[in-house]
Structure 1
Amino acid sequence: MATRAMGRHSARTPTARRSADGPLTAAGRAGFTARGVIYVLIGVLAVRIALGGGGEQADRQGALQQVGAQPFGKVMLWALVVGFGSMAIWRAARAALARGPDRTLASRLLDGGRAVFYAAVCWATAAYAAGGAASGGDETSKDWTASVLELPYGRVLVGAGGCLLIGIGTVLAVRAAMRRFLKQLDTGGMSLRTKQVVTVLGVLGGVARGTVFVVAGVFILVAALRFDPDEAKGVDDTLRSFTQTPAGPWLLVAVAVGLVLFGGFSFASARWRKL
């Protein structure tokens, strides 16, 4: 009888665990969906810039303006607010509660940092949805850089920030190229064709995303070395800088398409990510 009771207890445990994890799982999926929308829009705006057909900003600010200009734009903006807030909650929960051999102090700190980032994005998006001006952009990057440069050891702090961003971008690109993301996905629930498509989205999209981080970090590092905050660039100016290379606007097109693909990968993560 005791054995049967133990069997019933162990049979109930997975179900109970899934029930307890349900709200956090939904939060994570909502967050990845919101991230996908923003990356797709940024990529589309960047393609327009490369082809000379758009004057909008190719960054989160420009993406939010595009969403707000659509029919039911306010509703969609508030949906993004919920999505980013959900992502912040999910990341914070992972930082504090997730268990497993891979949950090192570094991974918890990384999730905690991401939670803070998405909380800030959620707040900025909510402010814009409520009728305020869209925050962020290139001028904000320059203003923040100028403020930090005025601090004691400001050049060191800005330089360290640039190096950190370069390192993050490099890790993102390398991990994407090595297909590390597949370990985080429920590939067993995919067909072979679906897995191939998701893999392409993850590799090309992740490399493009990492490249943008690296280039933005380089500009911040240059701002520190030259003691010139105008050298720092936000996402929009960073993307536009690709047109100044020998490849011209076609390099920006390639990176922009990669960002669209990363948006698609975010949607795939919302469906198959192990949460």
Structure 2
Amino acid sequence: MNASTLTRGGRAGKQKAAPAIEGAARAGFTARGVIYLLVGLLALQIAFGDSGKQADQGGALEEVASKPFGEVVLWALGVGVVGMALWRLSEAIFGAAGPDGNKPKKRLASAGRAVFYGFVAYSVISFAAGAGGSGSSDGKSRDATAKAMDLPAGRWLVGIAGVVILCAGLWMVVQAARRKYHKHMRLTDMSRKVRQGVDVTGVGGGVARGLVFAVAGGFAVRAAWDYEPDKAKGMDDTLRSFAETPVGPWLLVLIAVGLMLFGLFSFAMARYRKV
């Protein structure tokens, strides 16, 4: 069996699973949009003095759970994120949409995203099931950093992980600013106003999201450099750090609005993303 036979087999398998894969992907983008909208809203409340809120995935899930029919919505979000993980897994197995979707680096990137969304899905479903699986991102970050530093060469591992996250965040910023998401979307299906709205949310939201990742990575690098696990920060503490800059809470306001824009952009991806 040669490579071309395997490729044809993969394409045939993807075509058969296409309807299910597309539905899973669009459900995943919708769930991601809800979570980012809520995280942005919680960060905005923190910027205006409501320090009791937790601006991360756990805080977003708690906010959902406190509303009528919250449990139903939580399960729907969990199923949606599972869909996102399965879609990314299908890209790793069958290849992604587009002419270069079968390249090894694309498949590897999809595999990494599948693992990431798999962890997110487990966290959301655990929360929905009442296991408290979400928890504080700050506590998880400190605990994971402390355990990693106890390993041989653990300090280096944490530092390298921090550099990777920092670089990934900067890459997100550049990709969003250059509107690289255009190649993944059905632009011809959009009206002029819709496309303008997608660009506002895609650029603003992508830049804000990338900055949060980059700053979180920077904190991990500092924790490794100083050999102090407590200096590693999850999303909540990372967002709060924006309010501690010389411009006060206004930078956090901008980041919060950006995360909400990214939530709206995720809804646009659910509608127009090539799958």
1:39 maps onto 2:36 in alignment: yes
Q: Is the 8 A contact 2:95 2:101 kept in 1?
A: no
Q: Compute the TM-score of the two structures, normalised by the length of structure 1.
A: 0.92
SS in 2 for 1:244: coil
Which position in structure 2 is the counterpart of 1:150?
A: 150
What is the rounded CA distance, in whole Å, between the counterparts of 1:101 and 1:149 in structure 2?
A: 38
What's 2:46 paired with? 49
Which of 19, 25, 34 is 2:22 aligned to? 25
Q: Distance in 2 between matches of 1:117 and 1:136?
A: 17
Q: Give a deviation string over 1:162-217, Cα, whole Å, max 9, x none.
A: 00001100110000000000111100000011001101100000000000000000
Give unpaired runs (5+ residues) of structure 2: 1-12
Structure 2 Cα separation of the partners of residues 51 and 261 of structure 1: 19
Per-residue CA deviation, residues 97-126 of structure 1 (Å, 9 max, x unaligned), is: 026324322221111111111111111111
Structure 2 partner of 1:238: 238
1:18 CA displacement: 6.6
Q: Does 226-235 or 130-139 show the bigger shift?
A: 130-139
Kept in 1: contact 2:36–2:260 (CA 8 A): yes
Query: Which protein shows a greater Rg?
Result: 1
Distance in 1 separating the partners of 2:162 and 2:15: 41
User: 2:7 maps to what in 1?
Assistant: none
2:112 matched residue in structure 1: 113
- Partners in 1 of 2:250 and 2:72 — Cα distance? 35
Counterpart residue type for residue 239 of structure 1: L
Whether contact under 8 Å (1:45, 1:54) holds in the other structure is no
Match for residue 12 of structure 1?
none
- Correspondence 1:72 to 2:69: yes
**Displacement, 1:67?**
0.5
Give the Cα–Cα distance (whole angstroms) in 2 for the partners of residues 145 and 27 of structure 1: 33
Aligned length: 260
Q: Please state if 1:255 is matched with 2:255.
A: yes
The one-letter code matched in structure 2 to 1:94 is: E
Contact 2:88–2:111 (CA<8 Å) still a contact in 1?
A: yes
The 2-side partners of 1:229 and 1:98 are apart by 38
Distance 2:51 2:71 in 1: 23
Where do 1:1-275 residues align within 5 Å?
A: 20-98=17-95, 100-133=99-132, 134-275=134-275
Runs of 4+, deviation exceeding 4 Å: 16-20
Counterpart amino acid of 2:73? M
Taking structure 1 as reference, are residues 125 and 17 closer, same or farther at Cα in structure 2, changes over 3 Å only? closer
Identity of aligned residues (%): 50
Normalised TM-score (structure 2):
0.92
Output the CA distance in 1 between the equivalents of 2:153 and 2:51.
Answer: 40
RMSD over equivalenced CA pairs, Å: 1.4
Cα distance in 2 between the residues matched to 1:201 and 1:103: 29
Q: Name the CA distance, whole Å, in 2 between partners of 1:54 and 1:184.
A: 38
1:7 corresponding residue in structure 2: none
